[in-house]
């Protein structure tokens, strides 16, 4: 409605784009959440040392006498790192949605004219040894700073999309972290 009121001729946000976003939320959104939660459970069952660290961090922050709360996430860096690593290690959306270039551009020495349809290979980025040490191994610590208490994201971390960012990335990350709790 706000877009209609502004009547901006340069906007790319239209009713069709809005309908596409809504469709993505109900379709792809629910599937990525379900699949990611499945991989989180797999990682917890398969990497008992990681499971123990998650349990320890939750007990230290939340304690045994109350349920976790949304605000607790900020104090659970290892849990957050586990979530980030699960999504990198088992990239749920291996190929990015189709995009098109708005202007002539150059990527890695390749000229790409405006209007070209492009698709990113997110799985390849998340498993490229030039960007990740031991990319096929599950290592949540790769997302922790030297102090072990801060979360550090790589510029090569692209969990759901490349190009225009996924609108719901922040929401999904918080829900995945909460699933560990």
pLDDT at 3: 47
Q: What are 4-32's pLDDT values in tens digits?
A: 555 666 666 677 777 766 666 666 667 77
Judge whether 37 and 180 are in contact, CB under 8 Å.
no
Between the alpha carbon of residue 29 and those of residues 47, 118, 146, 170, the distances in Å are: 27, 21, 33, 13
Average pLDDT of the residues in 65-83: 90
Q: Which residue has the tokens 């999309």?
A: 161
pLDDT at 165: 52
Mean per-residue pLDDT of the chain:
82
The answer to whether position 1 is within a domain reads no
pLDDT at 67: 85
Residue 161 CA, distance from chain mean position: 8
The answer to whether position 153 is within a domain reads yes
Q: Which domain holds residue 116?
A: 15-179
Q: Check pLDDT > 90 for residue 144.
A: yes
CA distance 36 to 91: 9
Q: Check pLDDT > 90 for residue 152.
A: yes
Tell me, what CATH number does 38's domain have? 1.10.630.10
Average pLDDT of the residues in 106-126: 92
Residue 28 CA, distance from chain mean position: 13
The answer to whether position 78 is within a domain reads yes
Domains held by the chain: number? 1
Q: What are 82-96's pLDDT values in tens digits?
A: 999 999 999 888 888
pLDDT at 1: 47
Q: Check pLDDT > 60 for residue 141.
A: yes
pLDDT at 109: 93
pLDDT at 124: 94
The answer to whether position 8 is within a domain reads no
The answer to whether position 10 is within a domain reads no
The answer to whether position 140 is within a domain reads yes
């Amino acid at each position: 409605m706000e877009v209609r009121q502004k009547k901006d001729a340069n906007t790319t946000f239209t009713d069709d784009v809005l309908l596409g976003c809504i469709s993505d939320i109900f379709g792809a959104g629910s599937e990525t959440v379900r699949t990611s939660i499945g991989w989180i459970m797999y990682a917890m069952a398969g990497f008992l040392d990681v499971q123990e660290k998650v349990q320890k961090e939750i007990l230290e922050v939340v304690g045994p006498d109350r349920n976790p709360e949304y605000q607790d996430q900020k104090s659970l860096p290892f849990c957050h790192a586990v979530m980030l690593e699960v999504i990198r290690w088992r990239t749920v959306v291996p190929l990015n949605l189709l995009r098109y270039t708005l202007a002539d551009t150059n990527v890695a020495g390749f000229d790409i004219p405006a209007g070209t349809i492009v698709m990113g290979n997110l799985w390849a980025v998340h498993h490229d040894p030039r960007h990740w040490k031991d990319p096929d191994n599950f290592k949540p610590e790769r997302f922790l700073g030297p102090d072990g208490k801060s979360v550090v994201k790589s510029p090569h971390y692209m969990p759901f999309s490349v190009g225009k960012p996924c609108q719901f990335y922040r929401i999904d990350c918080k829900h995945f972290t909460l699933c560990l709790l």
